[in-house]
């Protein structure tokens, strides 16, 4: 073999098969569909997941378990470092005030304060839940922690 002949005849893009263009093309007459039968007809196609009559994969695989993610409470988290940057010393931080500032979305189920960052200001923080480190930092800075009680939805 000659090195120059290695790539002869190799094309980057394969030409598409031009079907139904006469018998001389080799793909005329039945246009590669064969004679008679369902797949020779116009509009025929296999549905998604069809495996030739074999039990399809989506029916063979076990469908077990139940996921309650859609029913889980949407918890919005906020760090004490963010509170330190926005609020003045001695301020009362409420969920309504946080939503007005654009720090949390207007719709959520619970607000949780986490302890990432430093807190040098004396703040009264009102939220549904606090991490232990956040509670320690707020109290250490001379602030107060107020826990909101969750109102359970009425059943029935």
Does residue 131 lie in a domain region?
yes
Does residue 39 lie in a domain region?
no
Residue 156: pLDDT over 60: no
Range of the domain at 86: 69-147
Does residue 95 lie in a domain region?
yes
Q: In this structure, what CATH number is given to the domain that contains residue 81?
A: 3.100.10.10
Which positions ≥6 away from 101 have C-beta within 8 Å? 86
Does residue 122 lie in a domain region?
yes
Instruction: Tell me the per-residue pLDDT of 71-82, one tens digit each, with 9 for 90 and over.
Output: 899 999 999 999
- Distance in angstroms between the alpha carbons of the first and the last residue of the chain: 84
Give me the number of domains the chain comprises.
1
Does residue 130 lie in a domain region?
yes
Cβ neighbour number for residue 91 with a 10 Å cutoff: 16
Does residue 79 lie in a domain region?
yes
Q: Whole-structure pTM over 0.75, yes or no?
A: no
């Amino acid at each position: 073999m000659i090195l120059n002949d290695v790539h002869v005849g190799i094309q980057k893009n394969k030409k598409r098969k031009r079907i139904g263009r006469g018998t001389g093309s080799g793909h005329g007459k039945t246009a590669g569909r064969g004679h008679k039968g369902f797949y020779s007809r116009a509009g025929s196609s296999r549905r998604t997941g069809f495996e030739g009559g074999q039990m399809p994969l989506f029916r063979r695989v076990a469908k077990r378990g139940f996921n309650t993610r859609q029913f889980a409470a949407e918890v919005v988290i906020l760090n004490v470092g963010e509170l330190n940057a926005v609020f003045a010393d001695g301020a009362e931080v409420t969920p309504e005030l946080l939503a007005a500032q654009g720090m949390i979305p207007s719709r959520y189920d619970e607000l949780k304060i986490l302890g990432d960052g430093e807190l040098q200001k004396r703040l009264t923080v009102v939220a549904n839940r606090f991490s232990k480190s956040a509670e320690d930092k707020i109290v250490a800075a001379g602030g107060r922690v107020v826990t909101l009680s969750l109102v359970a939805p009425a059943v029935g």
